[in-house]
Structure 1
Amino acid sequence: MKKSIISIAILGAMSNVAFAQSNVTIYGIVDAGIVSERGGKAGSVTKVTSGVGSASRLGFKGTEDLGGGLNAVFVLESGIKADTGESDVAGSIANRQSYVGLKSATAGSLTLGRQYTPYYNTLSQVADPFAAGLAGSAKNLFPVAGNNTRTSNAVVYATPSLNGFSGEASYALGEQSGDNSASRQMGLSVGYANGPLTARAAYNSRNNDTTVPAVNTGMGHNTLLAVNYDFKVAKAFFAYGRDKGQFGSPKQIDSNEILVGATAPVGAAGTLMASFIRKNDKLVSNQDADQWAVGYSHALSKRTSTYVAYAKIKNKNGATYTVGNNSEVGTGDKAFNVGVKHSF
């Protein structure tokens, strides 16, 4: 009995030594709201849904100190539907993010797996006062659907911040049999952040060809310039996007976008958000669209907040853009949201 106790103690001590420099965190967001949509082909839709402000998720992330300022890092993150308890992608385990790599404070990070594109990071982190969520999400008119948000089989390098400057480069292998260029995607961003000013430029290029089945749809190119400036009494946002080639849903060929917006603190816990986005279709059909949006978020604590938002899209010349939110594309040209979000 005494030998068994000693053995267990030794194993416990060895375990503590082996994992002393490792850190694993369980994290997530549970976001659910009531969404009321109008102006769609199916008529009015009112529902309880998940991920209105931020997509509901469950994730695991970790670091291990390898010595010399070098760390191993990983993230496994799965999307969930808070309204039903289901996975937001059937049959998937870590559909949102799944990567592993190395990170150094002086040399930057190199990661491999399923990751966000530099283009989407620029839109959600710098350009959009709604942070790509709620009815006012810039995703309603900017081309970030599908692979423009995140890519699988990606190698991503991010530089450390040097006097406020930083950069990110992404290369996603298409892995199409017989054609290494098919479905290949590349991204790049360069940014500057200092005090109240944040500015970033991003570029995204995707070869939309596939080999099984064999389909040639050419290249899609997206460029984005985003700037925000914090005046303390309000934070101003501006973004300009330029798009060429086959991309997005609805399918687009040649267009640009302009966003102007602002956020303003309301008391100690509230934030007011507003934005205007103009989509300029440069083809003969001229299917333009404008979006107006306003929203309010109120922090009940450091982890829990409530929100309300409204947005309206004016489609022109047969355009079919819809008012969605962070997790859904929406069904109509008007939408109202109210809900609650908890982070852990």
Structure 2
Amino acid sequence: MKRSSAFLCALIAASTALALPATALAQSSVTLSGLLDISAGQSKPAGNPNKTWNVDNGQMTTSWFGVSGTEDLGGGLSALFTLQSFMRADTGASGRFGADTFWARNAFVGLASSSFGRVTIGRNTTPFFVTTLSFNPFGDSFGYSPSIRHYFTSGTLTGDSGWSDSVLYTSPKIGGATAQLFMAAGEAGSNGRNHGVNLRWGSGALDTAFSWQDVKKDGATAVADTKSWQAAATYDFGVAKLFGQFGNVANKTSGNEYDITGLGASVPVGNGKVLAQWGQIKPETGAKRKTFSAGYDYFLSKRTDLYAVAMSDKVDGLSSGSAFSIGVRHRY
């Protein structure tokens, strides 16, 4: 009985050791996370006479899921990885559209240190996209942010919100300032490489950024050569946070240029915020586009919010577009 008890205790101890999380054994961690955003509403694109009722995915944030992890290598150095996939939660389909890459949001591995910064290699979200979403009150809303819509869905800037075959360097923060250098390698079928630079500085209630990028390819596919820059700032007064953006997209292939402006605000009210933004595309040649969105985002908890948003979208020479949505987002 004593031998059996000793053997049983040893077996339990071994099983417990095997069941310990990676953080205890190898000073590493793996995290599963994601977001679901589903809404119901009505939309009418500019120039289209028909209104459509929809149940939509990702009107405020594109739904996604993923896994990420880090390992402490000692001496202040750590290894990291991230794999994140978009999804259409209204139908259960993967990706933002049928032909979307499975890990389209992010797919990279890298090294990080408090002294030299961070380097990630693979598919990375572009700093230009991060600047665009960070300095408007609607964030990364492809449905309602005038800034996101004007840069990424209106035929101005080329290239996706993430670059494949890329290397992204992020410096450590020095005096409130951070710099990023970004490059996507040229591969068969492309016009060449993509390049990007991002500078961000903040102090107290003020936050500022400047982003520049030159795009010649999307994945391994050649696209119109566009050189884009954007300057942005926010100031938080407490009772309201103001947002301002101004940028330019120069399409070297077509010879056209676009000035893009965004002005917005978020105002805390109760457990949520009133959101509003006006944006304009002013092309060198072609029709102006003016978009205005307003809504209220109410937080039931830190992870779950309800929103109601409406938008007016006007393009010179076309009948006005409009949309509204009532939805819920849950983060995990």
Q: The TM-score by the shorter chain falls in which range? A: 0.7 to 0.9
How well do the aligned residues superpose, as a CA RMSD in angstroms?
Answer: 2.7
Q: Which one-letter code corresponds to 1:30 in the other structure?
A: L
Return the alpha-carbon distance in structure 1 between the equivalents of residues 308 and 158 of structure 2: 26
1:244 equivalent in alignment to 2:246: no
Counterpart residue number, 1:340 = 328
Per-residue CA deviations over 1:34-79 (Å, capped at 9, x if unaligned) read 1310245371111111111111111101110000111111111111
From 181, 194, 215, the equivalent of 1:185 is 194
1:30 equivalent in alignment to 2:36: yes
TM-score when scaled to structure 2? Answer: 0.87
Identity of matched residues, %: 29
The DSSP-based 3-state class of the residue aligned with 1:43 is coil
Counterpart residue number, 1:329 = none
Against the structure 1 CA distance between its residues 292 and 80, is the aligned structure 2 distance closer, same or farther, given a 3 Å change threshold?
Answer: same
1:174 equivalent in alignment to 2:186: yes
Q: Which one-letter code corresponds to 2:50 in the other structure?
A: G
From 123, 136, 143, the equivalent of 1:114 is 123
List aligned pairs for 1:204-215, cutoff 5 A: 204-208=213-217
Against the structure 1 CA distance between its residues 31 and 290, is the aligned structure 2 distance closer, same or farther, given a 3 Å change threshold?
Answer: same
From 93, 112, 116, the equivalent of 2:102 is 93
Runs of 4+ in 1 over 3 A off after TM superposition: 1-20, 39-42, 89-93, 143-146, 208-212
Counterpart residue number, 1:67 = 74
Q: Which one-letter code corresponds to 2:196 in the other structure?
A: G
The DSSP-based 3-state class of the residue aligned with 1:64 is strand
Deviation at residue 160 of structure 1 after TM alignment: 1.3
Against the structure 1 CA distance between its residues 209 and 294, is the aligned structure 2 distance closer, same or farther, given a 3 Å change threshold?
Answer: closer
Against the structure 1 CA distance between its residues 11 and 66, is the aligned structure 2 distance closer, same or farther, given a 3 Å change threshold?
Answer: farther
Return the alpha-carbon distance in structure 2 between the equivalents of residues 307 and 241 of structure 1: 28
Against the structure 1 CA distance between its residues 337 and 225, is the aligned structure 2 distance closer, same or farther, given a 3 Å change threshold?
Answer: same
The DSSP-based 3-state class of the residue aligned with 1:176 is coil
Residue pair 1:119, 1:148 contacting (<8 A) in 2 also: no
Residue pair 1:32, 1:83 contacting (<8 A) in 2 also: yes
Counterpart residue number, 2:269 = 266
Gapped regions of structure 1 (runs ≥ 5):
321-331
Q: Which one-letter code corresponds to 1:31 in the other structure?
A: D
Residue pair 2:304, 2:328 contacting (<8 A) in 1 also: yes
Return the alpha-carbon distance in structure 2 between the equivalents of residues 122 and 71 of structure 1: 26
The DSSP-based 3-state class of the residue aligned with 1:163 is coil
Return the alpha-carbon distance in structure 2 between the equivalents of residues 132 and 57 of structure 1: 13
Q: Which one-letter code corresponds to 2:244 in the other structure?
A: F
Residue pair 1:235, 1:263 contacting (<8 A) in 2 also: yes
Return the alpha-carbon distance in structure 1 between the equivalents of residues 226 and 296 of structure 2: 35
Counterpart residue number, 1:136 = 145
Return the alpha-carbon distance in structure 1 between the equivalents of residues 262 and 10 of structure 2: 67
Gapped regions of structure 2 (runs ≥ 5):
none
Counterpart residue number, 1:153 = 165
Deviation at residue 128 of structure 1 after TM alignment: 1.1
The DSSP-based 3-state class of the residue aligned with 2:159 is helix
From 251, 260, 271, the equivalent of 1:257 is 260
Counterpart residue number, 1:326 = none
Deviation at residue 306 of structure 1 after TM alignment: 0.2
Against the structure 1 CA distance between its residues 116 and 223, is the aligned structure 2 distance closer, same or farther, given a 3 Å change threshold?
Answer: same
Q: Specify which structure has the bigger relative contact order, considering alpha-carbon pairs within 8 angstroms and separated by 6 or more residues.
A: 1
Residue pair 1:135, 1:337 contacting (<8 A) in 2 also: no
The DSSP-based 3-state class of the residue aligned with 2:92 is coil
Return the alpha-carbon distance in structure 1 between the equivalents of residues 56 and 162 of structure 2: 22
TM-score when scaled to structure 1? Answer: 0.84
